């Protein structure tokens, strides 16, 4: 006889709009004659307010879901049966940003990031309709950017808007002012100002491989040295991953010396073979420029082999910046620097809280109740996962 089959059906209950009306007593002090009125969570006296769950829905749709505020309001009405305005959705994001600001989130984030051993930093241009202005009301020069500083592994992610990509704008964020560890970054000069205070810098090998690939494509035979360097960097990554898996904190000294010797040989070959090669407008050949740069930054290329806690690429920041890139791809732009700033503050809070095991809706409701999650410095820092192969 054949056994019976079975099936499961999972579903959510029909959403029900609950309305709670509060009687708020007002009393006058007999001594100072000051009038004090009772308050309740999330609500304001004399008006109708939406509670934490509707606020959470608005925030998640507008930031996590990258839905424009008008469509977010339509989705809330369609899914939950509560007609809300696009203004409510926009204010929900601003309200959450203001709540975590009042709790000192940015200061706590700076302190927590400053206590880390390894951080990654990157920046990305964004579209903003309105522009920041100076004291005379003139738009500040430059293209608006989002700067991201984060831990290599899930833990802390910090987003901040700047009016430009300049060194001064990055310095003004002061997010790395107390950091003395290792920084993984690309070769953008705006980050150079931090180098003196750091224990070391790891240049992103994924960016370096892209530059090498560009030179190889100019002439695969003549520029074969660049192709060999690509293979060498990937080989070094595999060796470091194996050393880390074996419990070592760095690559074997003899093996590292052999890899470095091959690196130095190919870099010198690239410099010499392109030294007199013609290029447009009398400029140096790109192969010569790149080989000279590789000789200059050799220690920043190979830092990951001397400390396996340091990832060899900046992919962690690249992944973090996909969120605002996707938001911009859907919405097209942010209206003002203020809305961009609110978006960055909310994303910093929600992503970091999620990395610490807090569901987004819980992070939002606790923040609206005046008790947001705050990052704390870690004393025992686990080694970050190595980045995947570029």
323, 293, 370: which is closest to 101 by C-alpha? 370
Domain contains 149: no
* pLDDT given for residue 384 in this prediction: 47
The whole-number average pLDDT for the span 138-146 is: 83
Domain contains 115: no
pTM of the model: 0.84
Domain contains 250: yes
52: Cα separation from own chain's centroid = 26
- Percentage of residues in the chain having pLDDT higher than 90: 56
> CB atoms < 10 A from the CB of 364, how many?
30
In the block, tokens 């074997």 appear at 252
378, 367, 295: which is closest to 94 by C-alpha? 367
Q: What band does 316 get if pLDDT is binned at 50, 70 and 90?
A: very high
Domain contains 262: yes
Is pLDDT larger for residue 282 or for residue 181? 181
**Range of lowest pLDDT (137-151, 195-209, 367-381):** 367-381
Phi then psi for 33, rounded to 5 degrees?
65, 15
The whole-number average pLDDT for the span 71-75 is: 92
Pairing of strands 182-185, 200-203: parallel
Question: Token pair for residue 232?
Answer: 């060498």
Domain contains 348: no
Question: Token pair for residue 71?
Answer: 């469509």
What distance in Å separates the CA atoms of residue 320 and residue 347, rounded to the nearest whole number? 10
The whole-number average pLDDT for the span 141-156 is: 91
Contact 96, 55 (CB under 8 A): yes
Intra-chain end-to-end CA distance of the chain, in Å: 56
Number of domains in the chain: 1
Pairing of strands 145-150, 118-125: antiparallel
Domain contains 300: yes
DSSP string, 252-320: -HHHHHHHHHHHHHHHHHHHHHTTT---GGGPPPHHHHHHHHHHHTHHHHSHHHH-TTS-SS-HHHHHH
Helix (H, G, I), strand (E, B), or coil: what is residue 110?
Answer: helix
pLDDT at 296 over 70: yes
Q: What band does 387 get if pLDDT is binned at 50, 70 and 90?
A: very low
The whole-number average pLDDT for the span 151-156 is: 92
* pLDDT given for residue 1 in this prediction: 63
* pLDDT given for residue 273 in this prediction: 92
- Percentage of residues in the chain having pLDDT higher than 70: 95
Question: Token pair for residue 229?
Answer: 């360097």
74, 78, 84, 90 alpha-carbon torsion, rounded to 10°: -40
Ranges of H-type helices in the chain: 52-59, 69-80, 86-102, 105-114, 167-173, 205-218, 224-245, 253-273, 286-296, 298-301, 303-306, 315-320, 322-331, 337-355, 360-368
pLDDT at 366 over 70: yes
Domain holding 233, by residue range, is: 205-313
Domain contains 286: yes
What distance in Å separates the CA atoms of residue 367 and residue 373, rounded to the nearest whole number? 7
* pLDDT given for residue 138 in this prediction: 72
Is pLDDT larger for residue 140 or for residue 250? 250
DSSP string, 45-65: TTS----HHHHHHHHIIIIIS
The set of residues, in sequence order, having a beta carbon less than 8 Å from that of 274 and lying 6+ positions away, is 223, 284, 285, 286, 287, 288, 291
Question: Token pair for residue 223?
Answer: 């520029």
Domain contains 357: no
What distance in Å separates the CA atoms of residue 313 and residue 316, rounded to the nearest whole number? 8
pLDDT at 390 over 50: no
The Cβ-side half-sphere exposure at 134, using a 13 Å CA radius, reads 6
Contact 93, 87 (CB under 8 A): no
Residue pLDDT, tens place only, 329-339: 887 888 888 88
Residue pLDDT, tens place only, 166-197: 888 888 888 888 899 999 999 888 899 988 89
């Amino acid at each position: 006889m054949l056994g019976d089959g079975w099936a499961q059906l999972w579903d959510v209950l029909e959403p029900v709009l609950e309305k709670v009306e509060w009687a708020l007593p007002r009393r006058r002090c007999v001594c100072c004659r000051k009038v004090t009125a009772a308050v309740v969570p999330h609500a304001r006296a004399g008006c109708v307010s939406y509670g934490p769950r509707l606020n959470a829905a608005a925030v998640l749709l507008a930031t996590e879901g990258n839905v424009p505020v008008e469509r977010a309001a339509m989705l809330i009405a369609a899914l939950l049966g509560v007609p809300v305005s696009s203004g409510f959705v926009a204010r929900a994001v601003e309200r959450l940003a203001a709540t975590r600001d009042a709790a000192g989130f940015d200061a706590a984030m700076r302190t927590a990031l400053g206590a880390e051993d390894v951080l990654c930093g990157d920046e990305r241009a964004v579209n903003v309709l309105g522009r920041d202005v100076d004291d005379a009301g003139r738009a500040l020069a430059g293209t608006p950017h989002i700067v991201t500083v984060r831990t290599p592994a899930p833990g802390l992610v910090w987003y901040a808007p700047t009016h430009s990509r300049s060194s001064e704008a990055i310095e003004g964020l002061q997010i790395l002012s107390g950091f003395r560890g290792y920084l993984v970054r690309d070769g953008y000069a705006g980050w150079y100002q931090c180098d003196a205070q750091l224990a070391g810098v790891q240049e992103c090998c994924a960016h370096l491989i892209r530059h090498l690939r560009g030179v190889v494509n100019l002439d695969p035979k003549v520029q074969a040295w660049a192709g060999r360097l690509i293979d060498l960097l990937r080989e070094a990554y595999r060796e470091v991953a194996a050393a880390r898996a074996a419990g070592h904190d760095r690559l074997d000294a003899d093996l590292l010396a052999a890899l470095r010797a091959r690196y130095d040989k190919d870099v010198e070959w690239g410099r010499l073979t392109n030294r007199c090669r013609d290029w447009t407008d009398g400029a140096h050949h790109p192969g010569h420029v790149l080989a000279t740069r590789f000789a200059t930054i050799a220690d920043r290329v190979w830092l990951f082999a001397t400390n396996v806690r340091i990832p060899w690429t900046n992919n962690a920041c690249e992944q973090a910046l996909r969120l605002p890139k996707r938001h911009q791809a859907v919405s097209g732009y942010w209206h003002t620097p203020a809305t961009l700033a609110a978006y960055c503050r909310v994303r910093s809070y929600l992503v970091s809280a999620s990395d610490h095991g807090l569901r987004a809706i819980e992070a939002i409701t606790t923040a609206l109740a005046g008790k947001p999650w705050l990052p704390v410095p870690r004393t025992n820092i686990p080694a970050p996962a190595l980045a995947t192969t570029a």
